[in-house]
Structure 1
Amino acid sequence: MPANKYALIRYRVIDRCVGNKYRPYPDIERIQEKCEEALGKTVSRSTIEKDMNAMKNDGALGYEAPIAYSKEYRGYYYTEPDYSIQDVPLSDEEIDAIKIAANTLSTFRDSGPFKQYSSAIDKILDRVEISSSAPEIELEELIQFETVPTMKGNEHLSTLFGAAREHKTVEFDYGSYRKSGSKKRKVDPYLLKEYRNRWYLIGWSHDKQKVIIYGLDRMEKLSLTKLDFVSDPDFDSDVYFKYSIGITANDGQSPQDVEVRVDNLLAKYLQSQPVHHSQELTETKEGFLLKLKVIDTYELREKLLGYGNQVEVLKPASLRAEIKDQLQKTFKKYAK
């Protein structure tokens, strides 16, 4: 935990102690004790005194805290009774909500463009850790977040983010999972999109003369060029992915009406977490009927195959035949 983070926590603790109307005029020993409880380490008297001086006089902090010492009560108080460095009072419920959001955000703190905001994320986490008046229970004891592994290619995020913002063309070597080797690509970066913990670049390919999706994990030797670009006014990311499940987008394909029979258990899951915004789920005599309006993509087939015997693809015939073929191939592997 860096020094500035310790100081931020101490400032908040001092503010709570000095502004506590139910136990006013805390002496320096009480403030010191509370700071040590919050940090889990020893804090010197001189550090507390320097902190209070900084809260009063440090223009960079901007607190201008009206802290004064009462000789009569032998403790500290605010000359402005309603003052607090916490400009926006929060309820315990609001603090809990911010804790959850901040911890979710913290999973990206070390990824590319988010690194520059890691200090801000730390400040949010520090603030909510000591703002609650409720008994402290570690968030990790009650809520467990998915651990996001560091994926190859995340190191390109910052460069691509900056290039997209500044409208600068980029160059990189791009490899294929199907073929060995790589090819040089020149791309105008339009959009960064995350899917299943992997990052993708959507941009205008100078070689293909159309919008292409690139996986960051397959990029090497990424560099900025001196070329400026103007985005295609016809490109709309919302429209581009409107009929997609996953990262594969509409590349001239027309969306299809997909119908799938699902069992009762899966239907309940789909009701709580739809697979696509076009989803319609209706109950029939044979069970539940799932309707989607999507393009036929690898991710769609992967999802349907993942449901196993809980689903039966009815329409279109081409998708039904593809799923059937894949299941037959899988059966042959297990039939040996």
Structure 2
Amino acid sequence: MPLPQNQRFQFINDQLRRGKAVPASVLMQGCESAERTLKEDLALMRERYDAPIRYNRRYNGYEYTYAFDLKTVELELTDQDVVALKRALATLNQFRDWAVFADFRGAVEKIEQAVRFRFAQPADSQAHIIFEAVPAGRGNDLLDQVLVACLQKKVIQFRYQKYQDSESRLRTVFPHLIKEHRNRWYVIGHEVEPTQLRVFGLDRVVDGTLEITDLSFDPPAFDAEAYFRPALGVAVYDDPPEEVILSFSREEGLRFQAQPFYPFRKEDILVNTNKEFRVRLSIIINKELEYELARLGDTVRVLSPEKLIHRLAKFHKRALKLYAKK
């Protein structure tokens, strides 16, 4: 049985890089393949990677017509590696047109070539994995500027208009980071006057008003990991996390365990039977948690605390009124 295709390509490339014509018998022996397989491999290397391979009749062997190295074969990737790379590439490709990532475009393309090589398929062949396409939203064009300001620790100014307001206001902010949530981008930073931590949706920044300034500002310390850990969403959190106990149907409980909307520990599982999955979460009670639980409908029930039960009940009652017969 011949070696795997990537290893055959590796061997052929190593032999031809030596600068001398290599007999077909040597290549077949090294690849542990028949003549037909060797010819197919050589044709694939020419087609997919523009390998300058020719047969030299004078020396009765194959050679490169000029200095060439199939660098992608140097990547030893497992199938799991390739799947992980494809996921990463799907993310990277969403941002490849950002000016701040311009220097990485070549690197992304090289990784794509390496992944295609591992799969041994043309770039335009039918995809075997499809990622969710997320349309670009309003405010995405500001990401470059805001990210540069974060990296350079510069204060930004912009006019900001909330959805419920009829007029915009000038904001002066020291940006700590940008964060995506539900396909929208937000900047989290300290507003200069008065100094307080704020979150601003980039989709609500008035077009053409954002600029990086030279204003001097010494912001309070901000620990992003500690800030976001106990809650869903991106809102400013003043309340401490509370113990929330949820009872899922068996089916929804399996889904939650496979992809929880909030992390939990093994010891937080209170009930796990054929009828119920009950779990305890230490989480800040906010609108995002309310929306997430409402989305699950009758597959989850809040057992405690009481205030979350009341909030969710009011939410469903308001929604029911929209469909009640008049």
TM-score range relative to shorter protein: 0.7 to 0.9
Residue of structure 2 equivalent to 1:18:
16
Residue of structure 1 equivalent to 2:280:
291
Please give the residue correspondences for 1:125-144 in structure 2 after superposition, counting only pairs within 5 Å.
Answer: 125-132=112-119, 134=120, 141-144=127-130
1:38 to 30, 35, 48: 48
Residue of structure 1 equivalent to 2:194:
208
Q: Distance in 2 between matches of 1:172 and 1:238?
A: 26
Extract unaligned runs of 5+ from structure 2: 1-9, 31-39
Answer whether contact 1:17 1:31 (CA < 8 A) is retained.
no
Moved more, 316-325 or 118-127: 118-127
Percent sequence identity is 27
The Cα offsets for residues 148-199 of structure 1, whole Å up to 9 and x where unpaired, read as 1111111111111111111111001111011122110000011111112211
Residue of structure 2 equivalent to 1:248:
235
1:115 to 1:181, Cα distance in 2 relative to 1, 3 A:
farther
| Corresponding pairs, count | 291
TM-score normalised according to structure 2 size = 0.76
Letter in 2 for 1:315: S
1:112 to 1:33, Cα distance in 2 relative to 1, 3 A:
same
- The answer to whether 1:76 aligns with 2:63 is yes
The Cα offsets for residues 39-90 of structure 1, whole Å up to 9 and x where unpaired, read as 8xxx8xxxx87xx9xxxxxxxxxxxxxxxx895236425999xx76348431
Pairwise CA RMSD: 3.7
Answer whether contact 1:98 1:128 (CA < 8 A) is retained.
yes
Q: Distance in 2 between matches of 1:115 and 1:152?
A: 21
Residue of structure 2 equivalent to 1:173:
159
- The answer to whether 1:302 aligns with 2:288 is no
1:99 to 1:15, Cα distance in 2 relative to 1, 3 A:
farther
1:182 to 1:70, Cα distance in 2 relative to 1, 3 A:
farther
- The answer to whether 1:223 aligns with 2:214 is no
Note the C-alpha offset of 1:111.
4.4
Answer whether contact 2:72 2:113 (CA < 8 A) is retained.
no
Answer whether contact 2:72 2:117 (CA < 8 A) is retained.
no
Q: Distance in 2 between matches of 1:89 and 1:119?
A: 17
Answer whether contact 2:175 2:190 (CA < 8 A) is retained.
yes
Q: Distance in 1 between matches of 2:195 and 2:261?
A: 32
Residue of structure 2 equivalent to 1:60:
none
Answer whether contact 2:271 2:279 (CA < 8 A) is retained.
no
1:37 to 1:227, Cα distance in 2 relative to 1, 3 A:
same
- Local SS of the residue matching 1:177: coil
Extract unaligned runs of 5+ from structure 1: 1-11, 25-29, 53-68
1:323 to 307, 312, 317: 312
Note the C-alpha offset of 1:307.
0.8
Q: Distance in 1 between matches of 2:182 and 2:249?
A: 26
Residue of structure 2 equivalent to 1:267:
253
Moved more, 160-169 or 307-316: 307-316
Q: Distance in 2 between matches of 1:241 and 1:325?
A: 27
